[in-house]
Structure 1
Amino acid sequence: MSQTEFAVNFFVALFALLDPVGNVPLFAAATAGAKSKDRAWIALYIALFAFGFLTFFYFSGLSLLEFFGISLPAFRIAGGVILFLLGLEMARDDFTSTFAEAADAPNGTGRAYARKRFERMIVPFAMPLLIGPGAISSVVIYASQARQFGLQGAFVGVGVIGAVAVATLLSFLATPILSRILGRIGLSIVVRVLGLILCALAVQFILAGFAESTSGFIRPSIANPYGH
């Protein structure tokens, strides 16, 4: 595999796992009431967080999990539990209210407001919704593949992570357009539907985690129904 193939495969996999376009409605709900400029700052903070967090795991990888004695299946199960709780809030239309205090708490405006609101969104929006166990494990796997390219492989990997972070920023900057198209009622419907999907995805994470950590407890066709 050439460096170009590695970069393309890494970008496609990571972009699909973060799915910034699919998370735009959730970002719109999480930043409801924020001004366009403040929302842009929040989007920038999230993109920088994604870049820094994934880059950290790209270089530390399994070493960090091994240090704390955490397996990837355990991390997947924990992420699934958090996602399930988030999905329930969304399905019950409590998702926006989860971030309501963040809209009122900051007294300042601009970057100070955006920074405080972003701090409220790190969990569960930035992680594990945007950056889940799948994204982290993929970064670790591709980091191991990049070793064959030496130092250039490390730079290519960081470049790919940066490109995905930029794509995430651009996707979230387009939130006002989507908000105008859907309106308040349409956005609420989308969030409820996505909440149901997230609950199912969370259960799938948990099943996959149990399947990886046990033998014969979960059928492979249930843990990985579509073979990828």
Structure 2
Amino acid sequence: MSEWINSFVFFFAVIDPVGTLPIFIAVTSLHSEWQKRKIAMLAVAVAAGILLFFLFAGQYLLEAIGVPLSAFQVAGGVVLFLFALTMIFGEGKPEQEMDILKEGHETAIFPLAVPSIASPGAMLAAVVLTDNYRFDPVHQIRIATAMLAVLGIVLLLLLTANWIFRWIGNAGASIVSRVMGLILASVATTNVLVGIQQFFVV
């Protein structure tokens, strides 16, 4: 159970559901309520499909190009750590993706499904947490349920976005994003250490 919770927290940090709220509100500002619900469900469905693909087939893709999972884990941990630093010290997720919106990309697919929900960090997490050589299919299904639980929270937040954003405001979303960045930095460091250990053990 603790492993499921750890996976849930990991996915929650890299997906950052609260940080997606300002983006969703901006994207759907001119849409009706039923259109907003449709966009939210489409965005989460597309993100779920992408992440499930990486969860079940990502490692096979890496093996096809000759990249060991331990190397991918170290590289990914470094990238995640740098990404976490930008969440903590730089522009938060809401500010970064609001800049994307200024360029006119206002669809459910981009930037909502990718890269807001199915972020590069989430894709990496899906691969790293389901190592085919360390975990059996039952474990991988448990990880998938943790990821889907986070996506369920994302959908719930998007469906109630207007009410939530009135309560926490853009500043509140930015604070939550930075807290998630700190958690993500810790997880990224652990990934690097575990990846190095596995590389030399093998």
Q: TM-score per shorter chain, which class?
A: 0.5 to 0.7
CA separation in 2, counterparts of 1:18 and 1:74? 21
2:104 alignment partner AA: P
Aligned to 1:50: 48
Give the counterpart of 2:184 among 198, 201, 222: 198
CA displacement at 1:94 relative to structure 2: 0.3
Task: Say whether residues 1:28 and 2:26 are aligned partners.
Answer: no
Unaligned runs of 5+ in 1: 1-7, 147-155, 216-228
Match 1:73 to one of 52, 70, 73: 70
Q: Is the 8 A contact 1:83 1:199 kept in 2?
A: yes
Partners in 2 of 1:195 and 1:14 — Cα distance? 16
Give yes or no for the alignment of 1:104 onto 2:96: no
Q: Provide the alpha-carbon RMSD of the alignment.
A: 4.0
Instruction: Decide whether the 8 Å contact of 1:91 with 1:192 is kept in 2.
Output: yes
Residues 48 and 148, structure 2, Cα contact 8 Å, conserved in 1 = no
Q: Distance in 1 between matches of 2:36 and 2:89?
A: 24
- Size of the aligned set, in residue pairs, is 191
User: 2:137 is matched with which residue?
Assistant: 145
Moved more, 179-188 or 29-38: 29-38
Q: Report how far residue 115 of structure 1 moved.
A: 3.1
Change (3 A) 1:86 1:92: same
User: Which deviations, in whole Å up to 9, do the C-alpha atoms of 1:48-90 show, x marking residues without a partner?
Assistant: 23324424652x4543221111111112122212222221121
User: Is 1:115 the counterpart of 2:102 in the alignment?
Assistant: no
Aligned mates of 1:205, 1:128 — CA distance in 2:
15
What TM-score comes out, normalization by structure 2 length? 0.68
Percent identical: 25
**TM-score, normalization by structure 1:** 0.61
Q: Which residue number in structure 2 is paired with residue 224 of structure 1?
A: none
- Which of the pair has the greater relative contact order for Cα pairs under 8 Å at 6+ separation? 2
Distance change in 2, residues 1:62/1:92 (3 Å): closer
Q: 2: distance between equivalents of 1:34 and 1:213?
A: 43
> Shift in Å at residue 162 of structure 1?
10
Q: Match for 1:47: what amino acid? A: A
